[in-house]
Structure 1
Amino acid sequence: MSAFKRIAAADAHQLLENNEVRIADIRDVMSFQAGHICQAVRVDNQNLGEFIAACDKQKPLIVCCYHGNSSQGAAQYFAEQGFSDVYSLDGGYEFWKVSYPDLCER
């Protein structure tokens, strides 16, 4: 049984509008630099511990990848690290940038 939930882009957008969420983008550096969700933090093995230590584990965390597949494993990992409300973004950044281009940074 997974300890995370999947979230549709529209629901993620609502959380982001309310400024109640952190977004962990697990894509590679070049993809992140080419574009990412506003306020997203790129997380990899180099800064994972620092990211976990800096987060309020009681606030929602959305994990974003390319298409919403890799983020599921990462979301499960974050849930196992004590995050109480973890989501994997359905469709990933590729769906997000089409749905909400004004909420992307380049």
Structure 2
Amino acid sequence: MNFKRIRTGEAKALLDQGNLNIADIRDELSYEAGHIRGAVRVDNSNLQQFMQGCDKDAPLVVCCYHGNSSQGAAQFFASQGFSQVYSVDGGYEMWKLGFPELCERS
């Protein structure tokens, strides 16, 4: 299984449809400063819990800073049985420029 790289506009379309999971793999301070609405910060400490709580048939969008690290994480999730995995090109930095109204702070 593989993941698909998508642009921020495609990620927003998935968000608009609902029933998706968003994994933000950035560090805690970056996540708290701003993240995609509804995103869950995922790292090694909560990875298993996150995967157990997700519907593996629902879309999973993986977001990092600029869209590089998220590709490796997306490949990992795809290898764990998630059927629709997406990595956001440009990451959160691109997302906040295009959709500031869909960003939240912790």
| Same fold (TM > 0.5) | yes
Any idea what SS the aligned residue of 1:51 has? helix
1:29 aligns with 2:28: yes
The AA in structure 2 aligned to 1:87 is Y
Count matched residues: 105
Q: Deviating runs (4+, > 4 A) in structure 1? A: none
Q: Distance in 2 between matches of 1:3 and 1:72?
A: 10
Any idea what SS the aligned residue of 2:18 has? coil
Equivalent in the alignment of 2:100: 101
Any idea what SS the aligned residue of 2:32 has? helix
Please report the TM-score for the alignment, with normalisation by the length of structure 1.
0.97
Unaligned runs of 5+ in 1: none
Please report the TM-score for the alignment, with normalisation by the length of structure 2.
0.97
Q: Distance in 2 between matches of 1:67 and 1:102?
A: 19
Any idea what SS the aligned residue of 1:23 has? strand
Unaligned runs of 5+ in 2: none
How far does residue 87 in structure 1 lie from its aligned partner after superposition?
Answer: 0.5
Q: Distance in 2 between matches of 1:67 and 1:15?
A: 19
User: What is the RMSD of the two structures over their aligned residues, measured on CA atoms?
Assistant: 0.8
The AA in structure 1 aligned to 2:7 is A
How far does residue 21 in structure 1 lie from its aligned partner after superposition?
Answer: 1.5
